Amino acid sequence: MDNCPAMPPMPVNLLLILAIAASAIFALQELPWGWHVLAFAAAGLTGTVVVSKSARRLGIPISDLREAARVNSAFTYAMVLSVAAISFIVAIGAPLWAWSLLGLSAAWVIVWWPRRLRTFTLSSNIVINRDPAAVFALVGDLQNQPRFWATVESVEKVTPGAIGPGSRFATRTTVSTGTSGLPVVFDLVEEIVDYQPNRLISTRDASSLNFNLDSISLEPTSGGTRVTHRLRYVHPYTTAVLAATIRFGPSTARQIKANRTISWTRAKELLESEEQTTT
C-alpha cells in the first residue's frame, strides 16, 4: 500500500485529517461563524492544490502503474479534505450533522483498510483433450502466451537460465480500461513463483504494487487434462476508498472472464489441432 516504510499507512493519515476537522469544529463553536468560513477555505484550498497537480490525468487511461497510484492517492486525500471543508460549513448551523458526516467518512476509511474486502478471486476450469505434458509445454513457458492469450501481444524472457521459480518475463498486454474504455498498452514484468512441471505454474505481476497471484494447475482426466485457472488480486486501497472498486469492479470482472474464455478456447483448439496433425 505504501512504498515508504517510514510513512504511516494512508488510512491513518486520512483518519487524522478527519479527527483534526472534528476537533476544529468543537473548538470553533464559541467563535464567530467567520472562523468556520476560514477553516472551510483552508481545507478547500488545500484540496484544490492537491487535485490541480493530478487533474491533467483525469479521463486518461494510465498505463504507468506507479503514476496511477500517485494520482489515486492525490484524489483520495483531496476527497477527504473536501469532506472536512464541507463539515466546517455544515457546522455553522448544525454541528451534530457535521460530526456525523465526519464519522461516516471515518467509517468508510476504516472499512476498506483490511485486505479481505478488497480481494478479488476468479477460478475457472476447462478440459483439454491432451495429456498434462502437452498442455504444460504450452502454458509452462510464458513466451507461448501470444499464441493463445487474447490480451497478450508479446512476451520475452529477461532472466538467464532454465525456466523455473524466479524466472521473469517482460510482457506487453493490451486491455480496455479507464473511463474512456479505449485500448491501453501495459508493459508488465511477470515472475514465476511456483513451477511444478506437468502439474502447476504460478506467476505474479512483479511490476504491480499490490498482491496478485495467477495459478494454472493441471490434473489428468480420462483422455485429457483438467485445467484449473485461479486468480487472486488485492485492489489498491485508494481505488476502494474512491469507490472505483464498486463502480468498475463488476465490469472489470466480466472483461477478465470474457478474455479468459476466449483464451482457453484458443488454447484448447491449438493443442487439440496439434494432436490431430501429429496422429
Tens-digit pLDDT profile for residues 5-50: 344 588 998 998 889 888 887 776 665 555 555 555 555 455 555 5
User: Which DSSP string do the residues of 69-90 spell out, in sequence order?
Assistant: HHHHHHHHHHHHHHHHHHHHHH
Residue 2's pLDDT is 38
Domain edges within the chain:
10-111, 116-278
The CA R_g of the chain, rounded to the nearest whole Å, is: 24
Q: What is the pTM of this model?
A: 0.76
Among 31-35, 125-129, 208-212, 256-260, the minimum mean pLDDT is found in 31-35
User: Which residue has better confidence, 66 or 142?
Assistant: 142
Distance (Å, rounded) from C-alpha 178 to C-alpha 34? Answer: 41
Cβ neighbours for 135, distance < 8 A, ≥ 6 positions apart:
128, 218, 225, 227, 271
Q: What is the CATH number of domain 116-278?
A: 3.30.530.20
CB 71 within 8 A of CB 88: no
Among 46-50, 70-74, 174-178, the minimum mean pLDDT is found in 46-50
**How far, CA to CA in Å, does 101 sit from each of 16, 81, 85?**
15, 13, 11
